[in-house]
């Protein structure tokens, strides 16, 4: 049996061999990642399905079907890919849509796969079309179709690939082409976590980081974590820093609140960019509806970032609606930011 750390090191080394992009600090922060299904909190339905798929594949001595994980950043797509490889006792190679710029990049990755290895492609919606088409025969029949030569002398040769499992992840399943989507044997959407599960994750991480944290502080950090484990762990680390520098090392209720205040994260996890979006829709567009392109221009932000990063959480807490006429800010958002709605102002003016 390989030691846990050895296996982790190997995974990291393999990940580095594949064409890679720069990742944020969290990407390499392996310490808090659960490395078996029992330690993985939440996403119960997904876990149950994965366990069945893996167990059945193992009994048949086959590779598991290709899988797609979709959902917001930080919800555990990469962790699940790692768990699939680990449970299958297979190696893992990690790459991403944007890192596979040319067909040759993908050919290199595929032809270097070991039998039964798991290939993880993050940000699959950013695969270029040519690369994507090259992936189809590899997924369907484990074949690599290479074009050799040029012009009239060009011909296609087919190379056999070892059996492998492709695990793809995307924050935007809606942007994946239908032919690619249809080639996955299983597709799972990861949801935001509930408060209880985020609290459990914070407790687990605090244990691993040997941070002392009070019950009320756990609740506060969990509530501000946007229902996302990666953010919960990040807030825990910042609160630990604050406790060590300004306190006696214990994350108390007061320390948690002060650390969040310093980070400009409010008690529901809204950050300055969220508040700005809400304020702009209210102040410049009367609370909406406003079209996404107009909003992007007003915020000087890319449409994709607004749709992919800002809006999902604002919608999940009920502060923003996407309507056919455009984005609309809800009454709950006015209340949260302490801004009066037009109706409230009119009523006050009328003496109510």
**Site residues (vs ligand ADE, CB under 6 A):** 32, 34, 39-42, 76, 79, 201, 204, 229, 233
Nearer to ligand ADE, 197 or 274 (CB): 197
Is 29 catalytic? The answer is no
Those residues with Cβ within 8 angstroms of residue 19's Cβ, 6 or more apart along the chain or in another chain: 95, 99, 100, 101, 105, 108, 109
Is 152 catalytic? The answer is no
| Distances 243 to 26, 253, 254 between C-alpha atoms, Å | 21, 11, 10
Tokens encoding 37: 């299904």
Closest separation between CB of residue 76 and ligand ADE, Å? 5
Ranges assigned E (strand) in 90-237: 92-96, 117-122, 143-148, 155-160, 164-170, 186-189, 212-213
Given 95, 116, 122, 165, which residue is catalytic?
A: 122
The rounded distance, in Å, linking the Cα atoms of 211 and 142 is 47
The rounded distance, in Å, linking the Cα atoms of 143 and 164 is 11
The rounded distance, in Å, linking the Cα atoms of 23 and 98 is 12
Alpha helices in 4-76 (DSSP H): 4-17, 25-28, 44-60
The rounded distance, in Å, linking the Cα atoms of 93 and 82 is 9
Nearest residue (beta carbon) to ligand ADE = 229
Nearer to ligand ADE, 40 or 334 (CB): 40
Closest separation between CB of residue 197 and ligand ADE, Å? 7
Asked if residues 80 and 94 have their Cβ atoms less than 8 Å apart, the reply is no
Closest separation between CB of residue 99 and ligand ADE, Å? 23
Asked if residues 327 and 337 have their Cβ atoms less than 8 Å apart, the reply is no
Instruction: Give Cα 341 to chain centroid, integer Å.
Output: 34
Is 77 catalytic? The answer is yes
Q: From the CB of residue 242, how many other CB atoms can be counted at a distance below 10 Å? A: 20
Given 230, 240, 257, 327, which residue is catalytic?
A: 230
Closest separation between CB of residue 166 and ligand ADE, Å? 22
Q: What would you report as the CA-atom Rg of the chain, rounded to the nearest whole angstrom?
A: 23
Given 63, 165, 170, 171, which residue is catalytic?
A: 171
Closest separation between CB of residue 301 and ligand ADE, Å? 28
Closest CA to 185 of 33, 62, 11, 34: 62
Nearer to ligand ADE, 37 or 136 (CB): 37
The rounded distance, in Å, linking the Cα atoms of 193 and 71 is 11
Closest separation between CB of residue 195 and ligand ADE, Å? 14
Nearer to ligand ADE, 93 or 234 (CB): 234
Those residues with Cβ within 8 angstroms of residue 261's Cβ, 6 or more apart along the chain or in another chain: none
Tokens encoding 109: 């990755």
Nearer to ligand ADE, 13 or 38 (CB): 38
Closest separation between CB of residue 338 and ligand ADE, Å? 33
Is 122 catalytic? The answer is yes
Is 230 catalytic? The answer is yes
Which residues are tagged catalytic?
77-78, 122, 171, 230
């Amino acid at each position: 049996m390989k030691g846990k750390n050895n296996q982790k090191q190997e995974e990291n080394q393999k990940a580095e061999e594949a064409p890679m992009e720069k990742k944020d600090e969290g990407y390499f922060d392996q310490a808090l990642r659960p490395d078996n299904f029992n330690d993985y909190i939440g996403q119960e339905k997904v876990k149950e399905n994965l366990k069945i798929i893996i167990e059945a594949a193992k009994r048949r001595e086959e590779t598991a079907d290709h899988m797609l994980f979709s959902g917001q950043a930080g919800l555990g797509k990469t962790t699940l890919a790692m768990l699939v490889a680990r449970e299958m006792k297979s190696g893992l190679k990690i790459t991403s849509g944007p890192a596979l710029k040319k067909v040759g990049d993908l050919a290199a990755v595929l032809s270097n796969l070991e039998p039964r290895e798991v290939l993880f492609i993050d940000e699959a919606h950013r695969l270029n079309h040519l690369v994507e088409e090259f992936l189809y025969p590899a997924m369907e029949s484990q074949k690599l179709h290479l074009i050799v030569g040029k012009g009239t002398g060009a011909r296609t040769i087919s190379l056999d690939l070892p059996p492998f499992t492709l695990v793809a992840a995307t924050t935007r399943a809606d942007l994946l082409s239908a032919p690619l989507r249809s080639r996955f044997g299983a597709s799972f959407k990861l949801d935001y976590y509930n408060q209880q599960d985020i609290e459990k994750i914070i407790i687990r991480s605090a244990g691993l980081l040997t941070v002392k944290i009070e019950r009320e502080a756990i609740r506060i950090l969990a509530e501000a974590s946007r229902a996302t484990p990666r953010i919960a762990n990040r807030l825990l680390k910042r609160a630990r820093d604050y406790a060590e520098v300004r306190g006696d090392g214990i994350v108390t209720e007061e320390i948690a609140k002060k650390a969040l205040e310093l980070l400009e994260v409010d008690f529901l996890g809204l950050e300055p960019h969220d508040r700005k979006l809400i304020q702009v829709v209210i102040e410049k567009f009367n609370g909406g509806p406003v079209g996404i392109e107009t909003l992007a221009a007003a915020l000087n932000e890319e449409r994709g970032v607004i749709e992919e990063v800002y809006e999902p959480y604002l919608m999940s807490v009920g502060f923003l609606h996407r309507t056919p006429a455009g984005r609309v800010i809800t009454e709950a958002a006015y209340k949260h930011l302490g801004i009066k709605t037009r109706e409230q102002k009119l009523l006050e003016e009328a003496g109510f």
